[in-house]
Structure 1
Amino acid sequence: MTERVIKPLGRGFLFLDSHPAGCARIVRDLAGQVERRAPERRTALVIGSSSGYGLATTIAGLARYGIDGIGVSFEKAPTARRTATAGWYRTAETAVLAAEFGRDFRFFNADAFADTTKDEVLGLIAERFGGVDHLIYSVAAPRRVDPRTEETFQSAIKAIGAPHTTKSLAYEDGQPVLQEVGIEVATDDEIAQTVKVMGGEDWARWVSALDERGLLKPGFNTVALTYIGSELTGPIYRQGSIGAAKADLEQTAVTLAKDGVKAMTSVNGAAVTQASSAIPGIGLYVSLLHKVLGDGLRTPVQQSVALWDQLTGETPLDLDDEGRIRLDRWELSDDVQAAVRAQWESATQDNIADVADTAWFLAEVRRLYGFDVPGVDYEAPTEVDVTWP
């Protein structure tokens, strides 16, 4: 047993430790947002199941439709000096939740890009489930080692074509600071490497590996989660190096569909995630969006419920002209975007705490690590040596 009091120490939006009890409570809170349906014994493989939309999709699937299956993520175990990563603790609690629901859902802590991971995961799928009905791909990684070439690729957050300057949100001693951040232009090699990391190649490899082993059940479908976002964040996101990777992801869906696989991308709405908080301008944008919408901002688990309803046929697919599932219409409506733009343009250091919901955003970032969660005693020692399920 290794109990200790854990404090939120770190720099910027990165924390050195995570709070196990807070992470566990978040999983319970997410599950509590889901209205349950009668279990149908569907089997799902979720790649990137420990955080963000991948976590929300896993919990929504378990709580609403009682999915069986496997979640794959890559998290760090606790050490003598540091706690485990937040995703480690969230996964441990998600496993407890799955058991309480009476579901057979397993978790792998491994590099999703590795062929050895695919072999091990697909071996268990063949042994326990005989195949999968759904593959959810939700991977946001800074780098990737291609196991077939042993080449390492590094993703970049840069503009394409011309440099860009954006407003961005930071904090000093807990107080919001409005900054101007310059974004460099990505080289062709940096764009290509970002596509290699965050594009659709690995998603296609998972689908191919399942198909080659005969593990695609009748009616199988697969979605890769993506984001488009606002014109305000477009130069650094959708029109930047990350956007090139997202475009590749969407083209992969088209290619897979031509091969007879029911493959789509799901365009989710804005959310506070560990991946998005690192992108300049996104924090300010989401803070403004929450200020405009309040409770009208749809959470990742609410969107994930809508996704499962569409994937299972409970509701019709909400597709755009390019065949993408759209879960972000609430965000990109003209009136919402006009209101957010007005706040963005009026934001100054003097009024930033008024025009944007900066306190909410900082609390949401801290919640990613298990802090600022109601009902958790942060003065009490908590067990940090939690076993991977």
Structure 2
Amino acid sequence: MTERVIKPLGRGFLFLDSHPAGCARLVRDAAAKVDRRAPERRTALVIGSSSGYGLAATIAGLARYGIDGIGVSFEKAPTARRTATAGWYRTAETAVLAAEFGREFHFVNADAFADTTKTEVLDLIAERWGGIDHLIYSVAAPRRVDPRTGETYQSALKAIGAPHTTKSLAFEDGRPVLQEVGIDVATEDEIAQTVKVMGGEDWARWVTALEERRLLLPGFNTVALTYIGSELTGPIYRQGSIGAAKADLEQTARTLGKDGVRAMTSVNGAAVTQASSAIPGIGLYVSLLHKVLGDSLQTPIQQSVALWDQLTGEAPFDLDGEGRIRLDRWELADDVQAAVRAQWEAATRDNIADVADAGWFLSEVRRLYGFDVPGVDYEAPTEVDVEWPGARGA
């Protein structure tokens, strides 16, 4: 047992430690916001279940529909010097939550890209349930090792076609600072590598592996979570190297959608996540979006409830002309985007604290690591040696 006081020490939007009690409380608070439905026999596999929208989908599925299944993520255990990663603590609490709901939900801590992980997970599915109803794919990784070639691919945050300069939000001693950030042009190789990391190849391998093992139950459906976003962030996101990967994800959905497999991408709305906070311009955009919408900004847990309602047939699919599930219509409404653009254009180094909801954004980033969570005593020692749930932790 190792208890100590944890402080939010770090640089920029990255923190050295995570707060176990704060991470646990976040899971509890999210689940408490979900209206429950009568559980029915549904089994799901969530790839990327420890953070962001993957975590929200896991919590929403457990709390609303009482799903059984498996969550896969790749987190670091506590060491003598550092706490575990925030996702480690969130997963531990999600497992406790699942047990309280009376559900059988396993968590595997391993590289989702590895064939060995797929074998382990599929063996468990075959042993426990004989198949699954749903697969949610939500992986955001900076690099990927292809287990079949041994080659390592690195994703790039770059523009395509021409360099781009964007306004971006930073903080100095807790004060918001508006910066101009230049975005280089991606080479063809960088674009290709980004597609390899963040495109649809690994998602397709998961579905194919399940299909080959005959583990797809009748009515099976699968979604890969994606984002489109605003024209304001388009050059670095949707029209950039990441956007090329997202386009590949959508093409993969069309390829997978056959022989009893319904495959779609789900376009989520903007949110503060560990992946998005690292992208230039996204922090400023989301802080302006919250300034415009306030509490009307839909959280990942709200969007995940809507996603599960559609996956289970409780509600009809809300599809666009490309066959994508749209959970982001609230964000891209014309009046909302016009208001955000006006704030974006008005933002200067002198007025950024007033124009943007920067304080909210910084607090949301800190909450990703378990800090700034209401009801948590940050002066009290907290146990950092929390075990991974079950015997399958790494």
TM-score range, shorter chain: over 0.9
Distance 2:33 2:360 in 1: 19
What residue number does 1:27 align with? 27
**1:277 and 2:288 matched:** no
How far did residue 388 of structure 1 move?
Answer: 0.2
Task: Calculate the TM-score normalised by the size of structure 2.
Answer: 0.98
How far did residue 259 of structure 1 move?
Answer: 4.8
Query: What SS is found at the alignment partner of 2:236?
Result: coil
What residue number does 2:230 align with? 230
**1:80 and 2:80 matched:** yes
Alignment of 1:369-380 (within 5 A): 369-380=369-380
Distance 1:275 1:258 in 2: 31
Post-superposition Cα deviations, 1:309-368, rounded to whole Å, max 9, x if no partner, equal: 000000000000000000000000000000000000000111111111000000000000
**1:358 and 2:358 matched:** yes
Query: What SS is found at the alignment partner of 2:371?
Result: coil
Alignment of 1:96-115 (within 5 A): 96-115=96-115
Distance 1:258 1:212 in 2: 14
Distance 1:378 1:295 in 2: 26
Post-superposition Cα deviations, 1:146-176, rounded to whole Å, max 9, x if no partner, equal: 0000000000000000000000000000000
Amino acid of the structure 2 residue aligned with 1:384: V
Distance 2:259 2:311 in 1: 19
What residue number does 2:392 align with? none
Query: Gaps (5+ residues) in structure 1?
Result: none
**Contact 2:23–2:90 (Cα < 8 Å) also in 1:** yes
Distance 2:193 2:383 in 1: 40
**Contact 2:47–2:139 (Cα < 8 Å) also in 1:** yes
**Contact 2:170–2:179 (Cα < 8 Å) also in 1:** yes
Amino acid of the structure 2 residue aligned with 1:234: G
% identical aligned pairs: 90
Distance 1:156 1:4 in 2: 37
Query: What SS is found at the alignment partner of 1:167?
Result: strand
What residue number does 2:385 align with? 385
Post-superposition Cα deviations, 1:6-48, rounded to whole Å, max 9, x if no partner, equal: 0000000000000000000000000011000000120000000
Post-superposition Cα deviations, 1:277-316, rounded to whole Å, max 9, x if no partner, equal: 0000000000000000000000000000000000000000
Alignment of 1:90-239 (within 5 A): 90-239=90-239
What residue number does 1:52 align with? 52
How far did residue 258 of structure 1 move?
Answer: 3.9
Amino acid of the structure 2 residue aligned with 1:344: W
What residue number does 1:340 align with? 340
**Contact 2:220–2:260 (Cα < 8 Å) also in 1:** no
Amino acid of the structure 2 residue aligned with 1:251: Q
Distance 1:74 1:117 in 2: 11
Runs of 4+ displaced beyond 3 Å = none
Amino acid of the structure 1 residue aligned with 2:75: E
What residue number does 1:62 align with? 62
What residue number does 1:308 align with? 308
* Aligned residues: CA RMSD: 0.5
How far did residue 84 of structure 1 move?
Answer: 0.2
Amino acid of the structure 1 residue aligned with 2:291: K
Distance 1:172 1:186 in 2: 29
**Contact 2:218–2:260 (Cα < 8 Å) also in 1:** no
Amino acid of the structure 1 residue aligned with 2:197: V
Post-superposition Cα deviations, 1:222-246, rounded to whole Å, max 9, x if no partner, equal: 0000000000000000000000000
How far did residue 58 of structure 1 move?
Answer: 0.1
Task: Calculate the TM-score normalised by the size of structure 1.
Answer: 1.00
Mean CA deviation greater in 251-260 or 97-106: 251-260
**Contact 2:272–2:286 (Cα < 8 Å) also in 1:** yes
How far did residue 260 of structure 1 move?
Answer: 4.2
Distance 2:325 2:279 in 1: 24
Distance 2:239 2:129 in 1: 41
Post-superposition Cα deviations, 1:84-114, rounded to whole Å, max 9, x if no partner, equal: 0000000000000000000000000000000
